[in-house]
């Protein structure tokens, strides 16, 4: 029994030193939530002050459940471009929060201050309310979050601003049990923004006692005038061909409108009337505009029925590799039917682009390096699930790759197509919950021996010869038949 007590108090002691470390104080925390549909951007600014010398890392906390909805997290010193290293602590299953250590650019001495900016992206956090809507009705969403930003350090003043795109905020939760930190009204709305706080004199809050007593969910109910879009599944294949000096990208996309489900039947007449008055219902998606790379050619787009001819593509001319990303081809995709709440639309979109626009060759190592875009962002949409396959040229060896952020899983295999002799190396990356922040590039590097270069022409040559021989035989047979007939 005494042993048991000993270990228990030791455990508590350890937890305390972790959680209520007095090495910093927060002079202010301001969290700004930019409401959206499927994707919500959150920026939290921590004005911090060191209370001890030699502070090299600062700890932040996400609430329980917040980690699962956070698909992107990046910390910077305010005003600087360089992202700071973030080390995730092992989750203690007994705790209601998740800790991350941010490595500071240089250690802080006592009384030194710094402004840290934490940027996160949350996905799948809004719920349509009401859950169904008629074709001519509005779309409103609920967003819920925890009232307090948790911190292992004491905080002098804290505020949360939740911003909608329009001032049409229907309701918001008024928090209770906050008298200890606020003597005025704890929640207010001004224009499109709901403000929680200011709350003053908050003790270190990564403590179960604080969480049990004060932490609480708050909900904002707001009108949202754009469809809530999810890509349920994206399969991108990127095929590198040295023989054709081509990079082919093909996306198979299952798009889903996650807004309120359509109540009643779809009326094309109502839809056309709305389109005529340029007032489409906010939860109906008539068209999508995508930015594709410049210099693309042979673009194609089709769905289960066939080519989608109502779509338009304006291609920008090819630009050199170092200028990529400054110009776009604009693709206006108009699905065969408007996509209503709860509906799916499956389509394929593909294009070719000059390989040199995304490839460099390192003479000293004999390596090719190709930049493969992970995804083409769809404004405001989340990609729930992606499989990206990079098909390398036949005979590529010493394959290496670098990803901007870790993939859920990665595998190496071979891909065999018509005219290939040995099959091609292929890399497959699996991703979940991608947003515009993840629209970055994977670098794939490999060598191709001059002999391997010849393989494809040889394969093509042989095939041609084969056809030619067959043709000859056919002609001969024909001739003989003719002759026989003549006879």
Ligand X SMILES: *[C@@H]1O[C@H](CO)[C@@H](O)[C@H](O)[C@H]1NC(C)=O
Chain residues in the site for ligand X (CB under 6 A): 68-69, 71, 110-111, 123-124, 127, 129, 142, 171, 219, 221, 232, 256, 300, 306-307, 342-344, 432-433
Kindly state the tokens that stand for 194. Answer: 């709901």
Least distance (Å) between residue 21 CB and ligand X: 18
Nearer Cβ to ligand X, position 49 or 367?
Answer: 49
Least distance (Å) between residue 407 CB and ligand X: 11
- Where helices occur in 37-150 by DSSP H, the ranges are 66-69
Nearer Cβ to ligand X, position 110 or 416?
Answer: 110
- CA distance linking residue 372 with residue 68, whole number of Å: 27
Per DSSP, the residues of 346-359 read: EEEEEEEEEGGGTE
SS3 417: coil
Q: How many CB atoms lie within 10 A of CB 348?
A: 15
Least distance (Å) between residue 373 CB and ligand X: 21
Q: Which residues contact 14 (CB under 8 A, 6 or more apart)?
A: none
- CA distance linking residue 283 with residue 260, whole number of Å: 7
Nearer Cβ to ligand X, position 100 or 368?
Answer: 100
Give me the long-range contacts of 178-187 (CB less than 8 A, separation at least 24). 178/147, 178/214, 180/214, 181/214, 187/218
The neighbouring-strand residues paired with 372 are: 442
Nearer Cβ to ligand X, position 110 or 273?
Answer: 110
- CA distance linking residue 190 with residue 163, whole number of Å: 10
Nearer Cβ to ligand X, position 13 or 266?
Answer: 266
Distances (CA, A) of 148 to 116, 175, 179, 204: 18, 11, 14, 11
- CA distance linking residue 457 with residue 454, whole number of Å: 5
Least distance (Å) between residue 107 CB and ligand X: 14
Least distance (Å) between residue 379 CB and ligand X: 19
Nearer Cβ to ligand X, position 18 or 129?
Answer: 129
Least distance (Å) between residue 371 CB and ligand X: 25
Nearer Cβ to ligand X, position 221 or 415?
Answer: 221
Residue position matching structure tokens 């071979």: 414
Nearer Cβ to ligand X, position 85 or 171?
Answer: 171
- CA distance linking residue 124 with residue 109, whole number of Å: 41
Q: Which residues contact 13 (CB under 8 A, 6 or more apart)?
A: none
Least distance (Å) between residue 163 CB and ligand X: 18
- CA distance linking residue 47 with residue 198, whole number of Å: 15
Least distance (Å) between residue 129 CB and ligand X: 4
Least distance (Å) between residue 110 CB and ligand X: 4
Kindly state the tokens that stand for 24. Answer: 């910093």
Nearer Cβ to ligand X, position 159 or 233?
Answer: 233
């Amino acid at each position: 029994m005494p042993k048991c007590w000993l270990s228990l108090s030791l455990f508590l002691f350890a937890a305390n030193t972790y959680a209520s470390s007095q090495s910093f104080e927060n002079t202010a925390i301001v969290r700004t939530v930019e409401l959206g549909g499927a994707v919500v951007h959150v920026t939290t600014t921590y004005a911090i002050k060191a209370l001890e010398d030699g502070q090299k890392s600062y700890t932040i906390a996400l609430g329980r459940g917040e980690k699962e909805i956070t698909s992107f997290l990046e910390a910077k010193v305010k005003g600087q471009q360089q992202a700071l290293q973030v080390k995730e602590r092992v989750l203690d299953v007994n705790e209601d929060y998740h800790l991350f250590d941010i490595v500071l650019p240089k250690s802080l001495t006592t009384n030194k201050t710094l402004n840290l900016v934490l940027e996160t992206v949350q996905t799948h956090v809004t719920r349509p309310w009401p859950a169904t809507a008629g074709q001519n009705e509005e779309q409103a969403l609920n967003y819920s979050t925890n009232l307090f930003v948790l911190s292992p350090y004491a905080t002098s003043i804290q505020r949360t601003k939740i911003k909608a795109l329009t001032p049409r905020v229907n309701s918001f939760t008024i928090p209770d049990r906050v008298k200890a930190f606020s003597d005025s009204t704890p929640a207010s709305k001004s224009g499109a923004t709901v403000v929680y706080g200011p709350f003053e004199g908050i003790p270190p809050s990564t403590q179960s006692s604080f969480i049990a007593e004060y932490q609480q969910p708050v909900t904002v109910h707001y009108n949202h005038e754009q469809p809530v879009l999810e890509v349920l599944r994206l399969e991108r294949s990127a095929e590198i061909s040295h023989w054709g000096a081509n990079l082919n990208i093909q996306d198979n996309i299952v798009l889903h409108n996650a807004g309120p489900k359509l109540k009643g039947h779809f009326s094309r007449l109502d839809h056309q009337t709305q389109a005529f008055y340029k007032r489409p219902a906010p939860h109906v998606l008539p068209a999508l505009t995508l930015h594709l790379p410049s210099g693309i050619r042979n673009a194609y787009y089709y769905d289960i029925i066939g080519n989608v001819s109502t779509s338009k593509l304006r291609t920008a001319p090819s630009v050199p590799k170092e200028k990529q990303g400054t110009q776009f081809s604009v693709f206006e995709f108009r699905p065969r039917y408007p996509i209503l709440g709860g509906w799916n639309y499956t389509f394929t979109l593909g294009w070719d682009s000059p390989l040199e626009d995304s490839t460099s060759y390192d003479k000293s190592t004999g390596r090719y390096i190709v930049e493969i875009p992970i995804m083409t962002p769809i404004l405001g949409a989340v990609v729930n699930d992606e499989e990206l396959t990079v098909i390398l040229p036949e005979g590529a060896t010493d394959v290496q790759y670098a990803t901007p952020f870790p993939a859920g899983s990665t595998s190496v295999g071979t891909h065999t197509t018509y005219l290939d002799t040995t099959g091609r190396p292929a890399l497959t990356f699996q991703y979940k919950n991608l947003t515009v922040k993840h629209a970055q590039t994977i670098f794939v590097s490999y060598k191709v021996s001059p002999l391997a270069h010849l393989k494809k022409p040889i394969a093509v040559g042989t095939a041609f010869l084969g056809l030619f021989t067959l043709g000859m035989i056919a002609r001969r047979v024909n001739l003989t038949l003719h002759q026989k007939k003549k006879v």
